[in-house]
Chains A and B, each alone.
Chain A
Amino acid sequence: MKNIIILALLLSLCCCKEVRAQIVNQLLFSKTNGVYAMWDGTLVKTMGYSTTLSANIDLPSPTLVYNQGDSVKLTLWNKSQGAPHTIHLHGLDVDQQNDGVPQLSFTVHHDEKKDYHFVAPHAGTYIYHCHVVSTVHVQGGMYGMIIVRPTNGSTTQTWDNGYTYDQDMAWMMSEVDTTWHHDTIINHTHDTSQTTHTLPTNYTPQYFLVNGKSEQQLSGAGLAVNANVNEKIYLRLANIGYYGNRIVLPSALNTKIISSDGRPLPNLEQSDTVMLFPGERYGLLLEATGAITDSIQIEYFDLNTQAIQNTQNVPVQISGTVAVAELSNEQPSISCSVWPNPANTQVHLNVALLQSELLNGELLDINGRMVHQFSTFLAKGNTSLTLPITELGTGVYFLKLKTSAEQLVKKLIVEH
């Protein structure tokens, strides 16, 4: 036994019920010197936000993650050398002062640094984007996703008392029309006395993106869907383009549409097709009951003609648990023994890790409700953890332990 860690869990046993609102200070730079490589190697000039001054402008801009109830101070430091910029917190319903709309809220001029103050509302999926000459600046790349997690920060629950899931994925759809990315447009002059702005005459995009990626890039990490049978995936979708999206999912994923625009749907909808229009977000719960190799199809259609202009496919690989065990000769990255079981006052976990890493643990009751959560950084090898359980009622619980590579579920019986 290398380490003995007694987790001070007595206080936090009921942590899921507690409001863990935090004060979050965050800084974003706005810049217009982005050079973004499309899937075919074409370099496109972009504008966007970054968390450090030296970072490249990515497409989309970084995802901002908060917990419901967080008091956020989001600072925008404009380093664009040209036009003013703002942050519109799309869907967060912030007050007028912090809404990021020129004339109605403040704008941030070059070298200025100004703060947006808001409280992260309902857990859900939102967007942030610039609202200065919005048609140009959003197409230019000034957009990103905002994810608001439940009050307790859970990464396995959709919202307070919501659905539980095993992994979540977030896809932001957009398009790029390279004629809107010429230097004269991305670095357009800006006269503050001018109330109108001339746009390029046509919008006919050549690139159709999911998180800035397309074609073979969609097989890459972070986009392709990889899961096991009966694993629940919470898929967050957002459309920040100027086209419509029709998402067609393999029927074997048993898709349930559970939320939209940061709110649970009053009645969940079972459908393999989801339509997503500019500015909309949807939350889907996917759970395959059998192994599949397929893809999720994303169509991009012109809103004026409804003609499909492009289709992208994101691979889906759902493995049967048996198949994984047979195929894999690798040692599991985590193993754990639990004793005593049944237990009365406390339970000991002997966790063995292949490498030093962050271990995320959750204790779920028989209904899948999370009753306790912890995360702790553990060294490679064996570690003993002690979990007090005096506050838990008699019954069956599941202990879920997650490493970066896999997760392990142990059944635990509490008897008083």
Chain B
Amino acid sequence: MIHNRLCSGLKVMLVVLVFSGLLEDAKGITLVEKLYINRDSMEMVTGDKLPYLVFNRSTNFEQQNAVLELAVGDTLDLWIINTDTATHGFQIKSIMGTSLSIPAGDSVHLVQEFSNEGVYIYHDPQQYPYNLYLGLGGMIYVKNHLHERFYWNMKEHASNWNTTLVNGGTVSLNNYKPDYFTINGNSHPDINADSTARIEGNVGDTLILCIANTGRGIHSIHFHGYHAEILYSSKHSHHVGRSKDTFPIYPMETLELRLVPDKPGEYPVHDHNLVAISANSIYPNGMFSTILIAP
């Protein structure tokens, strides 16, 4: 399983290398992507359903936002199609100076080159922060390596907000009490079933974890078993190079971590705000996953 993923990762990179070799300026490839703004409801680990909006690669509603991945120097050629009945928008935080507005049923086109390694958040800035709160926030990973990588889009949900907001009601930003906590739209135990989130590897491997916090709360991710190194931090560039076991992440900020496991085993990675290890007050159905390292 791990082996397969690694192989496919290598194939993709080989294609990239061939392509970039063919290009005169060797600047990188152009990645063509389409994102659809879909509205439906998200099924929580408890079976409850919350009204939700997401950026998916097709018109099929999936409760996790698409991860767009490029290499440094690549160009993103992106269409964003609004399948919803309301106006939405699109922006890439700290990359695009202005946002694009997308009327209901309409689409926009965007071409953007990425010259720096890092994890970037794309989102809907309309009705800020409510469209984002309702789910419209995903990540773009700009890599400069071939290592195995994993992606965590962390978000909390105050279930009463979703219903209120889609019915045109108002909520108080100062009184935010989330009761669900998800990584890529899943809570424990479902996070481990998501191969893009569940960190798996072998002793000595270099494993990369890309984290985006598209929620409103601060999360403090703790690794059992290992320290990891900060490769990129959107908020604190001076934290790069630090070796830590606990990584706070602010809303709308991102981190890139490197883990080189020195021993085998299965170890938790979880939010150390232990209240976030719950779903509607049921422990441990929140931001809790495990790392699995083979000898």
Contacts and interface: CB of A to CB of B under 8 A. Distances in A.
Nearest to A264: B243
A95 interface: yes
Q: Of A104, A200, A304, A305, which is in contact with the most chain B CB atoms at under 10 Å from its CB?
A: A304
Nearest to A271: B238
B274 A242 contact: yes
A244 interface: yes
A263 B222 contact: no
A2 interface: no
Nearest to B270: A134
B82 interface: no
Contacts of A198: 281-283
B153 interface: no
Interface in B235-289: 238, 241-246, 248, 263-268, 271-275, 277-278, 281-285
Consensus secondary structure, chain B interface: loop
A158 interface: no
A279 B227 contact: no
Nearest to B274: A135
Contact of A260 (B218, B244, B273): B244
Given A96-B267, A277-B246, A135 B272 contact: no
B187 to A, nearest CB: 12
Consensus secondary structure, chain A interface: loop
A281 B77 CA distance: 43
B248 A265 contact: no
A41 interface: no
A138 B222 CA distance: 15
Interface string A298-337: 0000011111000000000000000000000000000000
A130 to B, nearest CB: 11
Interface residues of B, number: 44
Given A135-B275, A261-B246, A263-B244, A269 B227 contact: no
A232 B243 CA distance: 25
Interface string B162-196: 00000000000111111000000000000000000
Interface string B195-230: 000000000000000000000111110101111000
B124 interface: no
Given A104-B267, A134-B277, A277 B282 contact: no
Contacts of A139: 274
A303 B266 contact: no
Interface string A191-223: 000001111111100000000000000000000
Contacts of A199: 275, 278, 281-283
A122 B266 CA distance: 22
Interface in A257-305: 260-263, 265-267, 269, 275, 277-281, 303-305
A304 B216 contact: yes
A136 interface: yes
B56 interface: no
Given A304-B176, A304-B217, A278 B274 contact: yes
A58 interface: no
A197 B216 contact: no
Interface in A225-249: 242, 244
Contacts of B74: none
Contacts of A135: 274-275, 277-278, 283-284
A275 B216 CA distance: 18
B265 A95 contact: yes
Nearest to B244: A261
A99 interface: yes
Contacts of A47: none
Contacts of B245: 90-91, 93, 261-262, 279
B273 A242 contact: yes
Given A104-B267, A199-B278, A261-B243, A278 B273 contact: yes
B282 A242 contact: no
B225 A93 contact: yes
B220 A277 contact: yes
A217 B152 CA distance: 42
Given A278-B274, A280-B220, A305-B176, A196 B282 contact: yes
Contacts of B265: 95-96, 99
Q: Of A139, A203, A275, A278, which is in contact with the most chain B CB atoms at under 10 Å from its CB?
A: A278
15 contacts: A91-B245, A93-B226, A134-B277, A134-B284, A135-B277, A196-B285, A200-B281, A242-B274, A244-B218, A244-B248, A277-B248, A279-B220, A279-B246, A304-B178, A305-B176
Given A279-B222, A304-B216, 19 more contacts: A90-B222, A91-B246, A96-B225, A99-B224, A101-B267, A104-B290, A135-B278, A139-B274, A197-B283, A198-B283, A244-B218, A262-B227, A263-B227, A265-B242, A269-B238, A277-B272, A278-B271, A280-B244, A304-B176
Interface of B: 156, 173-178, 216-220, 222, 224-227, 238, 241-246, 248, 263-268, 271-275, 277-278, 281-285, 290
